Amino acid sequence: MISETQYEQELRLFLSQTLSIKVNAQTPIKIKDHCWYADLDFFYENIHYLVEIKYYRSPLIQLDVLYRGAEQATKYAQYSQKNSVPILIVNCHVELSQREELEKYFPSLILIDRNNILKTGYFNTAYFPELKDYAYISNEDKSIIDLLAAKKEIKSIIGKDNSLLEKIINESGKLAQELRNLETGRKNNAWKSYEELCVRIIHHLFRDHLRKWNKDSIQENLHKFYQRSIINEETEETFQYRDLVVPINDYDKLPVFWKFIRETLNCYYITFEFKNYTNKIKQEQIHLTEKYLLKTAFRSVAIIFTRKGVDDNGKFAINGAIRESGKVIIVLSDNDVYEMLNNSSDATDLLFGKIDNLFLDLSK
């Protein structure tokens, strides 16, 4: 798989040669007191276009991730001094229903996905060979030239009912703020609030990736999958560490991370744990998690949410679990969660990066 930078470079050359135009990179956009940079910009038939490029590991992307990318591209165009048309280019496939939803809230946006790129290039082997593994080009798919030609004048979205859009985009910010405001430790039942918040975060980020997960009812998911920890108030010991066990979806277009978990690690049930500790978790907590993972039950991977991350001895224990029993434990700190919530990329990209680093570290 090529890097995001290589993909942007290929796109720039591809657009330049396909449209016979000059394509600029890293165009500065001043928004209030900050200077941001659009990935590409160009003039085509006397219209100025600003391009935001999103490169995902997964062949299919969730709608809320597309919303954030579309919002960013549209914001750049709104603050541009050239009456620009925003373009969002993604390397994955976008379903027709997702296109229709984006059109409701971003009527001026041109969305270009993997199929549009390949339709334009006519499967020229010089461009984007890595995209063709997932390609199913149909007669309904339009080329980039067709998309530019079909786009009407820039439409204003002022006065449009954006309540659903705002809810989807703002949900990430609300969850992140709740996490910042939540105290660590066990006082005031903070541990319980942390567990419930983490379940909502999982619902927000991964609901399409989990099998039997109710997309409309978090409470029903809690009832089906949640096994709450029990606190002994006298000894302050915690029992029942297996907080949330959920089956992973099995459709072909799962993000790369989940496909790796299912197909390579042979794990069909993901275990989530939530530790609202004030300090970094230690090797003892890692060993307890390892104990509850069972390869024979197709449950060999755990994701631990914990406030401060894991200490060096804990990292050593994680490596030991992989070497000795083939069990994989991924630790997410608050900063990791903020990154997954606030970025416009797929949250599983961060998870895949973490699991990639775990296996690379084994050779050191």
Q: Which residue has the higher pLDDT, 100 or 127?
A: 100
Type of residue at 316: F
Contact at 8 Å (CB) between 73 and 87? yes
Residue 166 in this model has a pLDDT that exceeds 60 = no
pLDDT at 101: 82
Contact at 8 Å (CB) between 288 and 280? no
Q: Which of 58, 353, 64, 354 is nearest to 201 (CA)?
A: 64
Q: What is the mean pLDDT of the chain?
A: 80
Residue 66 in this model has a pLDDT that exceeds 50 = yes
- Burial of residue 147 (CB within 10 Å: 0-12, 13-18, 19+) is middle
pLDDT at 128: 56
Per-residue model confidence as pLDDT tens digits over 340-351: 887 656 788 889
pLDDT at 216: 62
Q: Which residue has the higher pLDDT, 246 or 63?
A: 246
47-54 and 110-112 strand pairing: unpaired
CA–CA separation, 75 and 225 (whole Å): 40
Considering 27-41, 157-171, 269-283, the range whose residues carry the highest mean pLDDT is: 269-283
Cα torsion at 267, 270, 276, 282 (round to 10°)?
A: -10
This prediction's pTM: 0.63
User: Percent helix, strand and coil across the chain, each rounded to 5?
Assistant: 50, 20, 35
Type of residue at 340: M
* Topology classification of domain 162-362: 3.40.1340
Considering 23-32, 188-197, 221-230, the range whose residues carry the highest mean pLDDT is: 188-197
Please give the average per-residue pLDDT across 272-289, as a whole number.
Answer: 93
Residue 4 CA to its chain's centroid (Å)? 15
Residue 305 in this model has a pLDDT that exceeds 50 = yes
Please give the average per-residue pLDDT across 268-289, as a whole number.
Answer: 93
Residue 242 in this model has a pLDDT that exceeds 70 = no
Residue 241 in this model has a pLDDT that exceeds 60 = no
pLDDT at 204: 85
Q: Which of 165, 133, 147 is nearest to 253 (CA)?
A: 133
Per-residue model confidence as pLDDT tens digits over 253-262: 678 889 899 9
Residue 81 in this model has a pLDDT that exceeds 60 = yes
pLDDT at 233: 47
- CATH 3.40.1340.10 region(s) of the chain? 162-362
CA–CA separation, 359 and 156 (whole Å): 49
pLDDT at 154: 41
**Which token pair is 117?**
């790129």
Contact at 8 Å (CB) between 355 and 321? no
Give the 3-state secondary structure of residue 343. Answer: coil
**Range of weakest confidence among 196-210, 216-230, 263-277:** 216-230
Q: Other C-beta atoms within 10 Å of 232: how many? A: 9
Cα torsion at 187, 192, 194, 197 (round to 10°)?
A: -140
Please give the average per-residue pLDDT across 78-100, as a whole number.
Answer: 84
Diameter over CA atoms, the chain: 75
Residue 240 in this model has a pLDDT that exceeds 60 = no
Residue 18 in this model has a pLDDT that exceeds 90 = no
pLDDT band at 270 (very low <50, low <70, confident <90, very high): very high
pLDDT at 224: 62
- CATH 3.40.1350.10 region(s) of the chain? 4-150
Contact at 8 Å (CB) between 94 and 111? yes
Side-chain-side CA neighbours of 343 within 13 Å: the count stands at: 15
pLDDT at 126: 52
Alpha helices in 25-129 (DSSP H): 63-79, 96-105, 114-121
CA–CA separation, 148 and 217 (whole Å): 40
Q: Which of 62, 16, 54 is nearest to 258 (CA)?
A: 62
Contact at 8 Å (CB) between 154 and 83? yes
pLDDT band at 161 (very low <50, low <70, confident <90, very high): very low
Residue 103 in this model has a pLDDT that exceeds 90 = no
* Topology classification of domain 4-150: Trna Endonuclease; Chain: A, domain 1 (3.40.1350)
pLDDT at 153: 43
pLDDT band at 331 (very low <50, low <70, confident <90, very high): very high
CA–CA separation, 86 and 105 (whole Å): 13
Residue 353 CA to its chain's centroid (Å)? 12
